[in-house]
Amino acid sequence: MTDPIALPGAGAAAVLVFAPHPDDDAIGCGGTLAMLAGEGARCTVAYMTDGSRSHPHSPRFTPAQLARLREAEARSALRALGVEASPIFMRLTDGSLGAMEPDARERVVRRTAEIVAAIDPVAVFAPWRRDVHDDHVATSAIVEEALARLLVRPALLLYPVWQPLRGRPDDAPRRGEVRVARIRLSNDARRKKQRAIAAHRSQTSDVAEDPGGFQISRAQLEAWTGPVEIFYRPVPNAPADAGARLRRAWRFVRSLA
């Protein structure tokens, strides 16, 4: 592990994060994002869903209002991490990704591939393949399918959110499935990550006034704000002849660990 992360050519490096909901990026890889941004990397986050169903019985917010609130919270969280690039909001309906019709899913996969191609990152972060929540699992599959369509593929790192807390044994990585990267966070990155998660007030407090809605517990917060972030790199990530660009991406990934 290196602390802080040393990026080769950091000023020119781009990284891209796909988050199922506004807040999953801060939870899963916020500390790493903070360190990358601090080293000059161009970090962009794409949010798949609008997060509008986290508090379905809120007397204060309609789903549309909650979606707007969660976008505002996401922007505040990114500022706390030092991420300057404008986020991408795909605005798919919260909770819908696992049940999309084939045509709708194809459009999302195509759009995801277009985002990756436009940003041209050296690394893409996405949720773990079996991260319990349907939107997380679907996001992971969509990103992997989108990357498979590209001639030159960035390195892929999968971040767990729910699997370590709520997953069954079968949800964990299997022998030979991944390589594990453990990124030790600087104290500054941990503080930024904590502030970023706190910026998602609808998820960390009772501001929505919905007792049955989602709220991050103290135990979850402690689990998500430790000194290390864990990432899984699928094996193999891409064909061996993907060329110099992929080798550069792998050198970038190794510099994180």
CATH value at residue 245: 3.40.50.10320
Q: How many domains does the chain have?
A: 1
Residue at 24 is within a domain: yes
Distance between alpha carbon 22 and the CA centroid of its chain, in Å? Answer: 9
Residue at 44 is within a domain: yes
* Rounded distance between C-alpha atoms, residue 42 and residue 15, angstroms: 6
- Which of 148, 96, 158 has the alpha carbon at shortest distance from 123? 158
Residue at 3 is within a domain: no
Q: Do 61 and 55 form a contact (C-beta atoms < 8 A)?
A: yes
What is residue 256's predicted lDDT score, i.e. its pLDDT?
59
pLDDT tens digits in sequence order for the chain, 257 residues long: 333 333 333 456 899 999 999 999 999 999 999 999 999 999 999 999 999 999 999 999 999 999 999 999 999 999 999 999 999 999 999 999 999 999 999 999 999 999 999 999 999 999 999 999 999 999 999 999 999 999 989 999 999 999 999 999 999 999 999 999 999 999 999 999 999 999 999 999 999 999 999 999 999 999 999 999 999 999 874 443 333 444 455 455 555 55
Tokens of 243: 């060329």
Residue at 4 is within a domain: no
Residue at 33 is within a domain: yes
Radius of gyration of the chain (CA): 17
What is residue 11's predicted lDDT score, i.e. its pLDDT?
55
Please, is 63 exposed, middle or buried when counting C-beta atoms within 10 Å of its C-beta (0-12, 13-18, 19+)?
Answer: middle
Tokens of 146: 């989108």
* Residues in the chain, overall count: 257
What is residue 237's predicted lDDT score, i.e. its pLDDT?
47
* Rounded distance between C-alpha atoms, residue 12 and residue 4, angstroms: 18
Residue at 148 is within a domain: yes
Residue at 1 is within a domain: no
Segments forming the whole domain that contains residue 121: 10-256
* Rounded distance between C-alpha atoms, residue 142 and residue 217, angstroms: 29
